[in-house]
Amino acid sequence: MKKIIGTTRVVFVGRMLVFKFPRINLREIKNLLMSEISLFFEYSKRDGFKKHLSSHIKKKLELSKHLKTSAKEKNLSRGLRVLPHRRYEFVALNVEMFGGFMANWNEFIFFVKTRNKFLLPTYFSFFGLINIQKRGNVLNWKDGDFFVFLQNNSKIKDQIFVDAHSFDNPQNFCLDNGKLKMIDYGSRHCRSFIMENWEQIQNNFPRPSKE
């Protein structure tokens, strides 16, 4: 069984099935935790504990508010539902601790809820601790070429930026019985783009010459 280490998950690729586990890097978690704590104390020393704590909380609340409003503004320009980010998706320590579990869980839920034909089936998840997915033949396109293909087959060119991380990597896609499908749909942000554009993308995918 081949082992592949992704950004948030460790994947074991078998002949028919794939097993995905959250990637837990204890050393990285420890380093990030130590750095957050030491930064907090450094600023507390400079500004005073009480003052720093209240400005710390205020900034966190402002950031969450900003993320919500900026998501609404982007909805209009992209004609898509853009979701505000959650903490586990963009704060280093949170990504490191919860990113893999949430990617697994989001992937399973999106598949179960939609049964969309563009998604390579995820058969099982135990609360994100382990996911079992069908095995696909990963694409070997060049990053840029595939991104442009997706962009050219979306209703509005800007829509792909709703989740550039998921869409700019051809290795997040595969061929399954000759059809283009997505392997890594663990990010909530890829959903609206897929639901809006998947049919055109799958139908226009050139095969098998570029496979």
Ligand X SMILES: Nc1ncnc2c1ncn2[C@@H]1O[C@H](COP(=O)(O)OP(=O)(O)OP(=O)(O)O)[C@@H](O)[C@H]1O
> Given the rule CB under 6 A, which residues bind ligand X?
4, 6-9, 11, 13, 18, 20, 103, 120, 133-136, 138, 169, 171-172, 174, 183-184, 186
Which residue's CB is nearer to ligand X, number 40 or number 102?
102
Range 178-197, binding Mg ion (CB under 5 A)? 184
3-state secondary structure the chain: CEEEECCCEEEEECCCEEEEEECCCHHHHHHHHHHHHHHHHHHHHHHCHHHHHHHHHHHHHHHHHHHHHHHHHHHHHHCCCCCCCCHHHHCHHHHHHHHHHHHHHHHHHHHHHHCCCCECCEEEECCCCCEEEECCEECCCCHHHHHHHHHHCCCCHHHHHHHHHHHCCHHHEEEECCEEEECCCCCHHHHHHHHHHHHHHHHHCCCCCCC
CB of 160 to Mg ion, least distance (A): 16
Bridge partners (DSSP) listed for residue 12:
3, 19
172 binds Mg ion (CB under 5 A): yes
Out of Mg ion, ligand X, none, which partner does residue 81 contact, by CB within 5 to 8 A per kind?
none
Which residue's CB is nearer to ligand X, number 128 or number 136?
136
> Smallest Cα–Cα separation from 190: which of 165, 155, 158?
165
In the bound state, the residue with its beta carbon closest to ligand X is 6
Which residue's CB is nearer to Mg ion, number 133 or number 172?
172
Which residue's CB is nearer to ligand X, number 41 or number 126?
126
Whether the CB-CB separation of 138 and 181 falls below 8 Å is answered with no
Out of ligand X, Mg ion, none, which partner does residue 102 contact, by CB within 5 to 8 A per kind?
none
CB of 122 to ligand X, least distance (A): 9
CB of 117 to Mg ion, least distance (A): 20
125 binds Mg ion (CB under 5 A): no
Which residue's CB is nearer to ligand X, number 49 or number 124?
124
CB of 169 to Mg ion, least distance (A): 6
Task: List residues near Mg ion by CB under 5 A.
Answer: 172, 184
